[in-house]
Chain A
Amino acid sequence: MSSKKMAIIASKGTLDMAYPPFILASTAAALGYEVQVFFTFYGLQLLRKDLSTVMVSPLANPAMPMPVPMPVMVQMLPGMESMATMMMKQKIKKHGVASLQELRDLCLEAEVKFTACQMTVDLFEFDKSEFIDDVEYGGAATFIGFAGETDICLFV
């Protein structure tokens, strides 16, 4: 029996938006799906060996719950991003939500295939040595080749 398939495009590189692709990919793999994630544009940040630079910003993110209402003028002050990121990481820990690193490792362990967009690597002049080794590089046709055969296909 051939397994079901799922493809995800991960295009965002912030701490909050990094979760959906890794959660869905690891879970689908646990449910027996063959999964591929295509990382493009800012999503490539999620392939860095060091994920500590992945942050969340309250700026232009009005749906983000804040402990106290914060005017945009305050949100743009230096250090606000680091503070918001630190606070979210504390919440993540407190509520038993896995870290990004842990979820990514679980994806790889479950043989989720990661493909990085070569065009984005060239565009932003990324250094491939900063990315984890378990990545293949390809383009739109690579993604569509797999996506065309999937049961679930998502853009995050």
Chain B
Amino acid sequence: MNFDKEFDLSGLSCPMPILKTKKALADMASGQVLKLISTDYGSVKDMQAFANQTGNTLLSTEESSGSYTFYMKKK
């Protein structure tokens, strides 16, 4: 999937993945896609909840050996 910016959240626990995602999105333009990598299993539900509540779109969630990749499209 194409993306405009990548952010590695590996090793971080709640709530840091969400707080850093929020910050990473802040200096992006509407419609741009942010790729996120997290090792926190809790982020799977949290990223969806973040998207639902902020109006950004979670395009996909992929899991690969304990690492989760998210593509978040900015509102």
Contacts and interface: CB of A to CB of B under 8 A. Distances in A.
Centre residue among B13, B14, B16, B54 by max chain A CB count within 10 A: B16
B50 interface: yes
Contact of B50 (A26, A31, A98, A106): A31
A30 B3 CA distance: 22
Centre residue among A27, A32, A97 by max chain B CB count within 10 A: A27
Nearest to A106: B19
B64 interface: no
Contacts of B40: 96
Contacts of A98: 12-13, 15-16
Interface in A1-52: 23, 26-27, 30-32
Interface residues of B, number: 14
Interface in A82-124: 95-98, 103, 106
A106 B22 CA distance: 11
B53 A26 contact: no
A95 B12 CA distance: 7
Nearest to B14: A23
Interface in B1-43: 11-16, 18-19, 21-22, 40
Centre residue among A30, A31, A103, A106 by max chain B CB count within 10 A: A30
A139 to B, nearest CB: 30
Contact of A32 (B12, B18, B54): B54
A27 B15 contact: yes
Contacts of A30: 15, 18-19, 21-22, 50
Interface of B: 11-16, 18-19, 21-22, 40, 50, 53-54
Given A30-B18, A30-B19, 12 more contacts: A23-B15, A26-B15, A27-B19, A30-B15, A30-B50, A31-B50, A96-B11, A96-B12, A96-B13, A97-B16, A98-B13, A98-B15
